[in-house]
Amino acid sequence: MRELHGAYPEIEYSIISRTGKSNRFPVAEFLQRQVEVVRAILRFKPDLVASCMGSYTQSAWIFGKPNVIFTDSEFQHFNHSIAHPFATSIHTPECFEKPLGRKQKKYRGFHELTSLSADHFRGDSERVASLDPDGRGYAIVRLSAWNTLHDIGMEGVSGNLPHLLRRIESVCNVWISAEEGRLSEEFDKYLLRIPAVDYHQALAFAKIIVTEGATTASEAAVLGTPVLYVNPSTRGYLDYLESKYSLVRQSRSAAETLEELESMLQSESLADDCRCNSRRLARDHVDVSRYVADVLEAEAEGT
């Protein structure tokens, strides 16, 4: 995160807390975060507080500040229960499948459209040219840390990783993006080593993305890159991207993962279809950046 912020020195920021080795029950980090948010509110005196998933609602509520949540993950039940009672409004995509009560406001879009639609993102293949040293193209495998509360009892690529890498490598170069940033020695040569600011450039120009993470799956879909999501838990927006736009394929078992991967690698039209469908996706939905700005302005003015 610090590296990413460093790429944009014009944006002021502060890191108020850090998670430990396990993020499953981050009670200490949660309390530290609330204390630091309280200090920030006292220092900055904002008109309102906004957050993804509701990280700051309790602190904002203490001071009577309007606080707005933008969330897209239905399964985070615990987080919903401790954050939503303190929110002024909760904004979710239309495809969000969980009802959240009278505070919920739905919009036609996804989080990833704020920065990755054609209006906001400019691809530059030169910035990731090193990922394709022999001209065969490349794929990215995104591995999650599986260390949060909602990850208990779940797994994705797991023991299939060596087989999966060999199959992809027979077609193109392959790189691993690991959420924890560490891999066992046998996979070290595959580690994606690029600046954090170029991560979406890497997604945009890949032949295929195989990911355990839902956010990367949605990002790749919006960019028009074929994506295989490997995870037992799904999201409303991924189901929607799969059923309405054929931009995501989802797998929940080892056998299904290899079968879907084989089908995607052999398809001659997949890349063109995804690019076409991503353009249609952008046309069909609102400018989410504009929507967020309008919501915050209205909430700050009390309208």
Residue whose C-alpha is closest to residue 239's, from 52, 84, 98, 54: 98
Q: Over the stretch 156-193, which tens digit does the pLDDT of each residue have? A: 686 789 999 999 999 999 999 998 766 788 999 999 99
Q: What is the pTM of this model?
A: 0.89
Q: Where does the pLDDT of residue 302 fall: very low under 50, low under 70, confident under 90, or very high at 90 and above? A: confident
The CATH superfamily of 8-109+286-301 is: Glycogen Phosphorylase B; (3.40.50.2000)
- Confidence (pLDDT) at 182: 66
Instruction: Over range 89-97, report the average pLDDT.
Output: 96
Residue 223 DSSP SS3: helix
Q: Which amino acid is at 131?
A: L
Residue with tokens 């957050």: 51
Average pLDDT, the chain: 89
> Which among 273, 274, 250 is positioned nearest to 260, based on CA atoms?
250
Query: In terms of DSSP bridges, do strands 104-107 and 67-70 run parallel, antiparallel, or are they unpaired?
Result: unpaired
Model confidence over 28-40: pLDDT tens digits? 777 787 888 888 8
With the CA atoms of 55, 58, 62 and 64 taken in that order, what torsion angle do they form, in degrees rounded to the nearest 10?
70
Is domain 125-284 annotated with CATH 3.40.50.2000?
yes
Average confidence (pLDDT) over 259-279: 96
What residues does CATH 3.40.50.2000 cover in the chain?
Answer: 8-109+286-301, 125-284
End-to-end CA distance of the chain: 34
pLDDT bucket at 151, cuts 50 / 70 / 90: very low
Mean pLDDT throughout 71-86?
90
Radius of gyration of the chain (CA): 20
Given a cut of 80, whether residue 55 has pLDDT beyond it is no
pLDDT in tens, 210-232: 999 999 999 999 999 999 999 98
